[in-house]
Amino acid sequence: MPSDVLPETLVVGGGIGGLSAALCLALRGGAVTLAERSQSFAEVGAGIQLAPNATRILRRLGVLEKIEPVAVRPRRLVLADAIEGRELTSLALTDFPSRYGGPYLVLHRDDLLRALLERCEQSGVKLHADAHVTVQPSVATTYSARFRVGNGAWQDIAETVTIPGPASSLRIAEATAVLSGDHE
């Protein structure tokens, strides 16, 4: 889809998924606002494994080069018997870049989130913390997204999505996809 027809987009949620989606859209030239309900952008938890299907995309997004210096590249994945600890099988990981086009990495979740955040900022994504999104139906089958930032002001962001027939999350997703041209 050419960037000049990308609709202005509101991404709800500033986790790994939301930041990645916002970055993809911004790098295609879209105007993107991201709203996160927490007071700040942070990841709860410890490590995360990233297989080549993820690291290939992160390379294209300019994120891989930021996380590689703080990530570990395990040499082998071992599956073991949970009771006895006996090795059942193992998988060599060192040839993943040549076989699958990207490395297998393990890193702290917050390091991944920081790198995504930095790339979103560099790419012009408007980031709002303390912004809980609510969807208010204006008439029975029409939805528009509004979000409230910390100061209490409401802002309209998304285009109106008209749902043909009874509303359901699937129908809303379908209508949004049609609106953004993702169905092509």
Ligand X SMILES: Cc1cc2nc3c(=O)[nH]c(=O)nc-3n(C[C@H](O)[C@H](O)[C@H](O)COP(=O)(O)OP(=O)(O)OC[C@H]3O[C@@H](n4cnc5c(N)ncnc54)[C@H](O)[C@@H]3O)c2cc1C
CB of 16 or CB of 31, closer to ligand X: 16
The pair of structure tokens assigned to 97 is: 């870049």
Binding-residue pattern over the window 5 to 44 for ligand X, x denoting contact by CB under 6 A: -------xxxxxxx----------------xxxx------
150 counts as binding ligand X under rule CB under 6 A: no
141 touches 4 (CB < 8 A)? no
Residue 62 sits in the site that holds ligand X (CB under 6 A): no
Of the candidate residues 22, 48, 145, 158, the single one contacting ligand X (CB under 6 A): 48
- Please report whether residue 133 would count as binding ligand X according to CB under 6 A: yes
Residue 77 pairs in a beta bridge with: 91
The closest alpha carbon to 108, from 74, 70, 80, 144, belongs to 70
92 contacts 76 by C-beta, under 8 angstroms: yes
CA angle 63, 69, 75 (to 5 degrees): 105
* Amino acid at residue number 123: S
In the complex, the smallest distance separating the C-beta of residue 146 from ligand X, rounded to whole angstroms, is 11
* Contact pattern from residue 101 through residue 130 relative to ligand X, giving x for each residue in contact according to CB under 6 A and a dash for the rest: ------------------------------
Nearer residue to ligand X within complex by CB, 15 or 97: 15
Nearest residue to 112 (alpha-carbon basis) of 155, 63, 76, 145: 63
Q: Can you give the binding site for ligand X, defined by CB under 6 A?
A: 12-18, 35-38, 48-49, 54, 132-133
